[in-house]
Amino acid sequence: METLRFGSTGNNVTLLQLALARAGYYKFKIDGIFGTRTLNAVRRFQSSNGLAPDGIAGPNTWDKAEKYLYGFFTLRLRPGDTFFRLAKRYGTTADAIAAANPGMDPSNLPVGGEIIVPYGFPVTPTDVPWSSDLLEYVVRGLTVRYPFIQLETIGQTPLLKPIRVLRMGNGRREVFINAAHHANEWITSPLVTDYLESFASAYVNNRPFEGQSAASLFASVTLYVAPMVNPDGVDLVNGAVSREAENAARRIADDYPEISFPSGWKANIRGVDPNLSYPAGWDEAKAIKFEQGFTTPAPRDFVGDAPLAAPESRAVCDFTRTRDFAVTVSYHTQGEEIYYKYLDKVPEGAEELAKKMAEVSGYAAADVPFRSGFAGYKDWFIQDYDRPGFTVEAGRGVNPLPLSQYPRIREENFPLMTVALSDV
Ligand SMILES: [Zn+2]
């Protein structure tokens, strides 16, 4: 990890502030700027962790801080420790500790052995900008806290970032929810990850989830979540790529001066739109977008040189072919709409599901605007599988939507995703 000090800025400062906030030392806005407040927080954090309070976050400070990003730590068991006492001491639950240590007999804890203690807060942050680095902390934290969550890597981006899929549940009904095909729609990454984690947490704590038994949902569904299909793009929008990569993207954007940079960026880092890359009406998409002037790599709307030229789309496509999805949901922003058709094609059950989703979210089940109606993931899934595939345009406003919208988007879309999970 980068050594950070007074005056540092950027995504790593965001991560540091998040860790300090979770540890209880930073109570201000997480803004990625290492100013006086962050300096004071680092000093106090260092003092109480046995480090020299120099206010510089180097390797030793990071070493103590990272566990707050992972959302768990390991502890050596002492005589008298029980799940219940540990839970009380660290603000978590005995069920959460049991879930993170599936091989361990609570009535016979191995004194001197190591135990994983999940913190009481969720791993998934919903109040900070996301990046591929943050996602890596989150997926590691989730798979340790909830060992029944499996992590798969389905591909790699041009900047060599892994494209992640999280899987959970034992059911025959396979459901795929993906997010952040589009870079500046990254608020969908915390949304779908938060959903998975909330489901997992309800499951281990024997609580209902979205008005249902989490246990029976777990038994009937296998949920696959791809939180960030386009991590390079998300990193670009949130200032988490190298200067070299940012400059290369800026040169692409220079040809499209009407699109603000980097906030207007939707494409992958090479300027190919990953949701205009699927082999479903790709030639039509190309004709439409070329006519609109997107004839070269661009911040959005360039279809690439051939179908699946974006490695992100190729990965999602190949992954889909290895599974047997009953339903897919692709998250985008914004517009509060649910698209469920490809051309005139409406798979069996799709309209009913869309209506239910609309009912629980307050969104509108709508026809896709013709000029946006080709080469997206939903289009390809409906074309090739003839099963319900949805694009959900969450939230309202100008992308990237502000995090202040998150609570509302969550409230609208948790029930919507639960409709996708439930057999009808
Ligand atoms: Zn989009």
What gap in Å lies between CA 414 and CA 154, rounded to an integer? 25
* CA of residue 332 to ligand 1 center, whole Å: 4
Type of residue found at 33: I
Instruction: Find out whether 217 and 421 touch, Cβ atoms under 8 Å.
Output: yes
The verdict on whether 312 is a catalytic residue reads: no
- pLDDT of res. 423: 74
Closest CA to 189 of 411, 409, 415: 409
The contacts of residue 341 (CB under 8 Å, 6+ apart) are 350, 367, 368, 382
* CA of residue 306 to ligand 1 center, whole Å: 20
Q: Which tokens go with 194?
A: 């938060």
* CA of residue 422 to ligand 1 center, whole Å: 25
* CA of residue 104 to ligand 1 center, whole Å: 44
- pLDDT of res. 48: 97
* Domain locations along the chain: 11-70, 72-118, 132-233+310-421
* CA of residue 159 to ligand 1 center, whole Å: 21
Q: Is the link from the previous residue into 347 a cis peptide, with omega within 30 of 0?
A: no
- pLDDT of res. 300: 98
- pLDDT of res. 249: 98
What gap in Å lies between CA 378 and CA 391, rounded to an integer? 6
- pLDDT of res. 90: 95
- pLDDT of res. 371: 86
3.40.50.300, 3.40.50.720, 2.60.40.10, 3.40.630.10: which CATH number matches 132-233+310-421?
3.40.630.10
- pLDDT of res. 94: 97
* CA of residue 176 to ligand 1 center, whole Å: 17
Mean pLDDT of residues grouped by 10 in the chain (424 residues)?
A: 96 98 97 98 98 98 98 97 96 97 94 97 98 98 98 98 98 98 98 98 97 96 99 98 98 98 98 98 98 98 98 98 98 98 97 98 94 95 98 98 98 98 80
- Tell which CATH architecture fits domain 72-118: Roll (3.10)
User: How far apart, in Å, are the Cα atoms of 49 and each of 8, 242, 415?
Assistant: 22, 31, 42
- Active-site residue, from 210, 312, 336, 393: 393
- pLDDT of res. 424: 59
The contacts of residue 203 (CB under 8 Å, 6+ apart) are 209, 214, 215, 218
Question: In CATH, what class is 11-70?
Answer: mainly alpha
- pLDDT of res. 1: 86
